[in-house]
Amino acid sequence: MKGGVYLDAEVPHLVQQRFALVRAVRGKRQRFSENVVEVVDSEEEALRRRDPAQNLHAAEVMGPSRSSEGFRLYYLVRWLSE
């Protein structure tokens, strides 16, 4: 288990640690639905494209993981900038 997400060693391609842009107000939330997360290729790209004034933040996330309600979620590993 990593950050509240159970990882399956037999299918590591399903849930992965990734860099992303998260459109949300930063706060105590630790998970985000897939409609506010845009996975990007690199940490550098996430940092370059962030726009805090528009609530678009660079982050490292784990996911996607399916919730018990059937939603695909990403879990925050860390924000890339303060």
pLDDT at 7 over 80: no
Q: Which two three-digit tokens encode residue 63?
A: 């996911």
* Residue 78 token pair: 């860390």
d(CA 68, CA 46): 29
Q: Report pLDDT digits (tens) over 20-43.
A: 999 998 888 899 999 999 999 999
CA nearest neighbour of 79 among 52, 71, 5 = 52
**pLDDT of 54-80, one tens digit each?**
999 999 999 998 888 888 899 999 999
